[in-house]
């Protein structure tokens, strides 16, 4: 993953929405020996994530959509906080703002926030999965611009909320939460345009 080239092997990392530990195992294979903390709300995924990793990798159950998700982290600061394919599942500007302000507070001096957002509208195949909000009893007027309901087929079938971020929207969100965007690029998928990756740094003003 291109953005991880900026992560030192000794950096203390916080991985939001770590899932089954795929990223943690990638880091371990590449010799990461700084402290890594992965958080997720799924006990089943956390159990998979913790299997077979060195002692410097730890995992905690926490739901970043709640007010107190950062309490188990105490006063710990991190050289980098990672959130790959996470923010686009958080509904509403208020919740995203709340999470990002906590992220900023948990960064060490000079730390970076690295994240990716799904750009599914860049794929006709994925765009075809968009479902009407009426399927869950909502009207289009009851959701925010950029909110979508997708036919989800990974690990079973169902419907899933996804927000499609524009670069302008992310720039506004970064500014509102005290960050500056230092890098932004598209990657992933057969057309290399399915993931929007960004690196943010806290503004010093």
- CATH code assigned at 183: 3.40.50.150
Could you read off the pLDDT of 85-118 as tens digits, one per residue? 999 999 999 999 999 999 999 999 999 999 999 9
pLDDT surpassing 80 at residue 153: no
Q: At what angle do helices 93-106 and 167-176 cross, to 10 degrees?
A: 60
Domain that holds residue 139: 121-163
The Cα–Cα gap between 130 and 115 comes to: 23
Is the same domain home to 35 and 136? no
pLDDT in tens, 17-33: 999 999 999 999 999 99
Q: Are residues 48 and 125 in the same domain?
A: no
Mean pLDDT value of segment 168-187? 97
Percentage, residues of the chain above pLDDT 90: 92
Record the pTM.
Answer: 0.95
């Amino acid at each position: 993953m291109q953005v991880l080239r900026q992560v030192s092997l000794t950096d203390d990392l916080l991985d939001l929405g770590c899932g089954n530990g795929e990223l943690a195992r990638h880091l371990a294979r590449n010799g990461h020996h700084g402290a890594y903390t992965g958080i997720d709300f799924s006990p089943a995924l956390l159990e998979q994530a913790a299997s077979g990793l060195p002692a410097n990798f730890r995992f905690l159950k926490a739901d970043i959509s709640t007010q107190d998700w950062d309490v188990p982290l105490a006063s710990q600061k991190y050289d980098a906080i990672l959130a790959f394919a996470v923010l686009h599942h958080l509904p509403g500007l208020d919740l995203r703002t709340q999470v990002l302000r906590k992220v900023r507070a948990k960064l060490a001096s000079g730390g970076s926030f690295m994240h990716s957002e799904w750009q599914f509208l860049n794929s006709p195949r994925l765009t075809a999965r968009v479902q009407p909000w009426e399927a869950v009893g909502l009207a289009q007027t009851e959701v925010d611009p950029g909110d979508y309901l997708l036919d989800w087929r990974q690990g079973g079938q169902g419907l899933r909320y996804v927000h499609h971020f524009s670069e302008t929207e992310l720039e506004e969100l970064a500014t509102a939460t005290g960050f500056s965007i230092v890098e932004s690029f598209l990657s992933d998928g057969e057309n290399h345009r399915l993931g929007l990756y960004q690196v943010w740094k806290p503004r010093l003003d």
